[in-house]
Copies of this chain bind each other. A is one copy, B any other.
Amino acid sequence: MSNSTIQTLVWGEYRHEKKNPKVTALYPDGMHEAIAAALRKEPGLSISTAWLDQPEHGLTEKVLAATDVLIWWGHMSHDDVSDEVVARVKTRVLEGMGLIVLHSGHYAKIFKSLMGTTCSLKWRESSDKERLWNVAPHHPITAGIGDYFEIPAEEMYGEPFGIPTPDELIFISWFTGGEVFRSGATWQRGNGRIFYFRPGHETYPTYHHPQVQRVIANAVHWAQPTVCIPDVCPNSPALEPLPVDSEAAQRSTEGHR
């Protein structure tokens, strides 16, 4: 599936932008649109968007079937995402679709469901500078990012972060106020790749930051599917001779599940 255009869907909650003038000023067309606009400059990607208040949150079976990588930003309305749609997205990730979860998406149903843990953390809305240290300089997600990059003001997220041990730790953040955080991390779940990336509080211009945009674009390339394998749990005949077992032969042959 590589070497072709990556069908990328940017999903946003798109509510803060309509209610909070400060957010509107920063993201007049929505945060998802700012993320999408940056990605549209990338070769090899085809970008579309969806948001919470669309029918089925814009995440119909058809849309998801055509999506290679899904980017998710949510915050104030996680509970308004229907369980049916969450299950649908999860199925696609486990089949092979890539998933990039941003910032407050740590508490999104889809992220919690894939992690299996609390995904809790410390937080503070304040004037912290965030410096993201690149702890995986070999990783495709950090291509073009040097030793670190800085965001002048961001919400603080602090450890402990209630996640399973990541497969790969990509960024660790330093905050002015004295905290640290695992700000970039990857997990393989089923056939899909997942990347969590911390920055992006709605009251800051974080998604206009060139290195934040670079990381997200890199992550889209990294997360593209290698396969699409639907879930099965097959009754599987023996490949080698089995001992004769008259008892077993007598057992019911009805389906196991």
Chain A positions within 8 Å of B, measured between CB atoms, are 22, 94, 96, 107, 113-118, 120-129, 131, 133-140, 143, 147, 153, 155-156, 158-162, 164-165, 167-169, 172-180, 182, 187-192, 203, 226-227, 229, 231-245, 247-248, 251, 253, 256-257
Contact = CB atoms under 8 A, between A and B. Distances in A.
A178 B131 contact: yes
A211 to B, nearest CB: 16
Given A114-B116, A133-B158, 11 more contacts: A94-B162, A117-B190, A124-B235, A128-B238, A129-B243, A135-B159, A137-B227, A139-B226, A167-B167, A173-B180, A177-B238
A229 B188 contact: no
A167 B251 CA distance: 37
A244 B169 CA distance: 32
Nearest to A257: B107
A256 B125 contact: yes
B165 A190 contact: no
15 contacts: A107-B233, A117-B190, A118-B231, A125-B248, A127-B242, A127-B244, A127-B245, A128-B238, A131-B178, A133-B160, A134-B159, A159-B172, A174-B178, A176-B241, A178-B240
Contact of A189 (B164, B192, B236): B164
Given A238-B124, A238-B178, A240-B177, A96 B138 contact: yes
Nearest to A237: B124
Nearest to A194: B116
Nearest to A127: B245
A233 to B, nearest CB: 4
B188 A165 contact: yes
Contacts of A94: 117-118, 162
Contacts of A236: 122-124, 156, 158, 179
A120 B234 CA distance: 9
A238 B176 contact: yes
Contacts of A179: 133, 174, 236, 239
A182 B120 CA distance: 20
Most chain B C-beta atoms within 10 Å of own C-beta, residue among A118, A153, A169, A180: A180
Nearest to A78: B257
A188 B164 contact: yes
